[in-house]
Chains A and B, each alone.
Chain A
Amino acid sequence: MKKLFAVALGILTAIGGFVDIGDLVTNAVVGSRFGMGLAWVVLIGIVGICVYADMSGRVAAVSGRATFEVIRERLGPRAGLANLTASFLINLLTLTAEIGGIALALQLAAGVGPGMWIPVALFAVWIVVWRTKFSIMENVAGLLGLCLIVFVVALFLLNPDWGTLATQAVQPWTETSGHPLSYWYFAVALFGAAMTPYEVFFFSSGAVEEGWTAKDLSTERANVFIGFPLGGILSIAIAACASVVLLPKAIEVTSLSQIVLPVAEAGGQLALAFAIVGILAATFGAALETTLSSGYTLAQFFGWSWGKFRRPAQAARFHLSMIICLLIGGGILATGVDPVAVTEISVVFSAVALPLTYFPILVVANDPEYMGDAVNGRLRNGLAVVFLAVILVAAVAAIPLLIITGMGS
């Protein structure tokens, strides 16, 4: 019974924790421009994150080694440091976007400008990282994130023409507008948003935080293979809502208020309240995850003591580095840069960084010294190699597409 409860809780928090500011913004932007024409990318992204999150979770559970320890050990100091620098900077960008997302969500709720909320958001994230137990942090943010189901409810309330949505989804190229390559630019961005590297750092480090062993592999699989796809439905619902309400009116998504517009139209104030709580929980949860991920990557690379299961004094460099990262993120936002723009950039660069994270995990998941009998089977390796190829294509195409299409405009 207790086990069943743990599995159910894990699945629910995986659903509620799946969506972050990158998914919210990118899905709404894509829905408002291409309808359901890029839903296939979300589906591919979900399968990809499942394959690799499962692998990194298994490596962590079986060997007790988290992702960046493995990356350093396999790539050596030079290539490892290059990898760390890229992954860390992109994670910092994502962290900035998430903090901005919290501020925007609070702005929606209270009407006071986002700039005022940034210090509040930073302090709230820090105090949770500093004082709250890992499991409580995960469960509260994940369960409140389930409020985003309101996007699915809103989609039904809008009573859309399901045939049109299906047609858009299966005939993806008909809705293209603007630069012909912008479709592919947004495909890469959406892929980067769905497969954000921090999810893998966080998932594997979280397995160590919660003391997972080979016995917990069934829980891990349930979280990943049930929780993530159900969380992905939320992503698709956000895009669908945007394509039903925003696409016909040619409303361009430039802020959070446009993302929640379909929800407000379908369900009024009550639905809007749920959406705001959901967005707040999703961005806050993701801000915690990215903050911790920045500490995890540095600590694991240099071999420092890390983890929320320790007192801050017993993981001093880990906690200091997270404080500095939060201050840098706050500093970037204090310049008045638009958090939505930061988000759009961060998902594209996430796509660039994907192979850096995923390739070393695949190598170690095949190493019997680490994995014993639990090395990858043929099916896992086959899927992983296929996705590595997809990831490489997206990573190589990302920057050229960004430049050619002028960020998709």
Chain B
Amino acid sequence: MRRARTPQHPLGWYQDPDGRGVDARLHLLDRQMLDRADVPISTVDDIEIDGVEVGEAVDHERPPVVAAILVGAAVLPRVFGGSMPRSRWDRIEWRHVRRLGTVVRIDAAADDLDATWLERWIRDRVIARIPGGRHAPE
């Protein structure tokens, strides 16, 4: 994949509403996501970008946008290469993202997101069935 080496747009094009420059690799990928109640959801394992096709020129009138954050098994292609079929993607829609900082704030409850199914599955099948699993430590 070819990577842009020099910025081809005015600086404002790369900035978020706060005026801060955002780089998907530096400021988004591999950051921790927290939900409304500060419960960790997942790390940003990959992102889905809309409005651009591999090998085709980018239409500068309609710049590509981040459509969703991918979590879970989506990290595997980034480690081992290859690709993950779309049916296996666990997506968190970009509209849920409230703030980017040292963590990515998600405006939803972790348990309401489809992407966190594995945590719920392990909770319901294993951890909650062990005595004391639903009680706070004393």
Contact = CB atoms under 8 A, between A and B. Distances in A.
Query: Are A and B part of the same complex?
Result: yes
Interface residues of B, number: 36
Interface stretch (B9-17, B55-63, B83-91, B126-134): B126-134
A77 B137 CA distance: 33
Nearest to A75: B30
Given A63-B102, A311-B136, A313-B123, A77 B40 contact: no
Contacts of B122: 316-317, 320
A161 interface: no
Contacts of A308: 137
A301 interface: yes
Contacts of B79: 77-78, 81
B65 interface: no
B134 A320 contact: no
B49 interface: no
Chain A interface helix/strand/loop/mixed: helix
A133 interface: yes
B75 interface: yes
A73 interface: yes
Nearest to A65: B102
A302 B43 contact: yes
B30 A72 contact: yes
Interface in A265-311: 299-306, 308-309, 311
Contacts of B135: 131, 311
B32 A305 contact: no
A80 interface: yes
Interface in A352-381: 369-370
Contacts of B39: 305, 314
A319 B138 contact: no
A314 B30 CA distance: 22
Given A77-B75, A305-B41, A316-B122, 13 more contacts: A72-B30, A76-B29, A131-B135, A131-B137, A302-B42, A304-B119, A306-B40, A311-B133, A312-B127, A313-B133, A317-B119, A319-B133, A369-B101
